[in-house]
Amino acid sequence: MTPLTIEDRQLRFERGTHDDAFLLDTYTKLVYPRIIEEKMLSLLRQGKISKWFSGIGQEAIAVGATMALRDDEYILPMHRNLGVFTTRGMPFRKLFAQWQGKASGYSKGRERSFHFGSQEHRVVGMISHLGPQMGIADGIALAHRLKKESRCTIVFTGDGATSEGDFHESVNVAAVWDLPVLFIIENNGYGLSTPSSEQFRMKSFVDKAIGYGMEGVQIAGNNILEVYNNLAKLADSVRENPRPILVECITFRMRGHEEASGTKYVPKELFEEWGKKDPVANYEGWLLKHGVLTIAKRDEIRARLKDGIEEDLKHAFEEPEPVPMKEQEEGDVYAPAVIDRTRTADPPGRLPGSPTTDGAPEKRMIDAIQEGLAQSMERHPELVLMGQDIAEYGGAFKITEGFVERFGKDRVRNTPLCESAILGAALGLSIKGMKAMMEMQFADFVSEGITQICNNLAKIHYRWGQNADVVVRMPTGAGVGAGPFHSQSNEMWFVKTPGLKVVYPSTPYDAKGLLMTAFDDPNPVMFFEHKAMYRSINGPVPEQPYSIPFGQARVVREGSAMSIITYGMGVHWATDVQRETGIDIDIIDLRTLVPLDVETILASVKKTGKVLLLHEDTLTAGFGGELAAIIAEHAFEHLDAPIVRVASWDTPVPFAIPLEQGFLPKGRLKAAVERLAGY
């Protein structure tokens, strides 16, 4: 017998063991998003809404996939997956408020469309970059594996978004780690206006699965029963035998990418062909033909759904526009930094604050970081470390050497070279209530994960109240002859991104205490560690766990002649110059750039009247510019001399040692200090 083609299966419904109640419930779930869509298009034509991404023609995939999951399993949808939200029982009134930017929506008016999530409904919304949610799915699935929970995660993507690097990275990680994820590709033939022939060359995505060493399944995406039956079986399979599966759902988009873009770029005959495969009309016709559904019952279901929509619309339209309040808006950027005892078996409470160093053993910076990391692993049993070569090898700088033996490979994980997917996985772990650390092999390589850090980790709490309990360790800095790709000071890439905290210690004592604070903080922390200080800087470090609060600068030395405000390696350069010149310098070590201790900065400037801003980063757009603006705005009348900035040249970091020494500000610092002192 010749097997049915995918085209045949779009129209052939197999009842199997499903009873009438199930078939009717499926119909209700399938028709509901269609009725909502029809109403949205009507409102759009009337000018009552501003934008709409239509999923007409693709409802069977979203509805069938959601039905295939358990209520406590996560699903990560995209633009055309309204059926996910409705099938999960999310109230239409709240959904419409979300689309209209009202305060009662899921993101308080801060987002539109489906760019939000809901922990209550186990839905994690997308961002406009399309691909990064796949890495998050990896992290959620990893949490299920680590917790030994038999669960499946579903994440959606379109055929166009499979061209993004995030798709490759996330699918590859899932395959390597045997993560229970169903990657649902809605192949509707177009990425906005670009047809598949200009997106990829393989015949089907099932073929692509082979390259990742994973299974691939192709489904008739317009057949609700085929979608549900297949995905329910696959979900059961990966719960029992954890692994990823690539699922290609063949479908078609009957409207534009969004309504304003239109559909002129699509051949007319395609609409005629796919109009005959309408998932709602065909399923409805099949139910009527077999007596499962009557005309009266159909009309009753549709009328009930329409009445509910109209009632909810009335209330949503009556709701006033949100009122901008600076305190509230800024207050929601970060999650409150408090201990949640439900998240960890231990600790019992906050770490003690900064202890005395009296009698504390001398440690190198690298040893202090290693100790703080190990003690954080002990305090937080659900903390997972991830990074390239961090397991048996111990990392590029050997900070995690011996950790596999102490904490096991589940918690100390080597990763493929895919920074974006691993950062996404770290966020996924956080969504499941865990903690994660990712070690960048070098801070320079973080550019591979900028979207995840600046658009997912940083914004997610502001968008829908989900914290990102992630620490990104960043070996940074020059002075070791490593050239332009292993020596950058790139802290300013993150200082300007609301939602991130940026930490940059200069001593072993601070490195341990600030690192342990980072792991107690529920927000994403970019933790910079200067490579040249790892083994060259020693200092007393208490052996017990302790914390140093973020946002508290350290007065390294009190003086009256001028202030040097700096951080990282600059602290040691400033200290050396003070000793060499004998000038009575007030030296301030910022320790954290976000949050910033403005009070200590201004107090020092007001005391001395002269200020030099020192950092290793390049001069233009370096942190000194921000500090200069703050000082000029709030302490101008206290200045006795122009503000001086000393920083690296505005070039990439050169390789040759003589060139690198010329690039760095250390050789120019003494002259600048003496000029300022003599002003």
Q: Which residues are catalytic?
A: 486
* CA-based nearest residue to 82, from 52, 48, 45: 52
Tell me the C-alpha distance between 596 and 29, whole Å: 51
Question: Which region, left, alpha or beta, applies to residue 192 given φ > 0 means left and ψ of -120 to 50 means alpha?
Answer: left
Tell me the C-alpha distance between 21 and 48, whole Å: 37
Q: How far apart are the first and last CA of the chain?
A: 95
Task: Using DSSP bridges, classify how beta strands 245-250 and 181-187 pair: parallel, antiparallel or unpaired.
Answer: parallel
Q: Residue 407: what are its φ and ψ, rounded to 5°? A: -120, -10
Beta pairing partners, 156:
184
Residue pair 417/449 in contact (Cβ under 8 Å)? The answer is: no
Tell me the C-alpha distance between 126 and 133, whole Å: 6
Look-up of token digits 């995690």: 400
**Segments in 338-459 forming alpha helices (H):** 365-379, 403-407, 419-431, 450-451
Q: Which amino acid type is present at position 144? A: H
**Segments in 178-260 forming alpha helices (H):** 205-211, 224-240
* CA-based nearest residue to 24, from 411, 283, 366: 283
Report how far apart, in Å, the C-alpha atoms of 36 and of each of 330, 343, 640 are. 34, 38, 66
Report how far apart, in Å, the C-alpha atoms of 312 and of each of 316, 352, 355, 525, 552 are. 6, 51, 57, 41, 49
Tell me the C-alpha distance between 640 and 563, whole Å: 12
Q: Residue 584: what are its φ and ψ, rounded to 5°? A: -80, 85
Tell me the C-alpha distance between 555 and 600, whole Å: 8
Four-residue CA torsion sign, 124, 130, 136, 141: positive
Give the DSSP H or E segment for 572. helix 569-581
Tell me the C-alpha distance between 281 and 31, whole Å: 9
Retrieve residue 61's tokens. 């995939």
Tell me the C-alpha distance between 389 and 398, whole Å: 9
Task: Using DSSP bridges, classify how beta strands 501-503 and 592-594 pair: parallel, antiparallel or unpaired.
Answer: antiparallel
Residue 658 CB-density burial (10 A; 0-12 exposed, 13-18 middle, 19+ buried): exposed
Close Cβ partners of 291 (under 8 Å, ≥ 6 residues apart) = none
**Any idea what DSSP says for residue 636?**
G
∠ Cα 473 475 480 (to 5°):
175
CA atoms within 13 A on the CB side of 534: 18
Q: Residue 386: what are its φ and ψ, rounded to 5°? A: -135, 145
**Any idea what DSSP says for residue 652?**
P
Tell me the C-alpha distance between 339 and 47, whole Å: 47
Residue pair 72/151 in contact (Cβ under 8 Å)? The answer is: yes
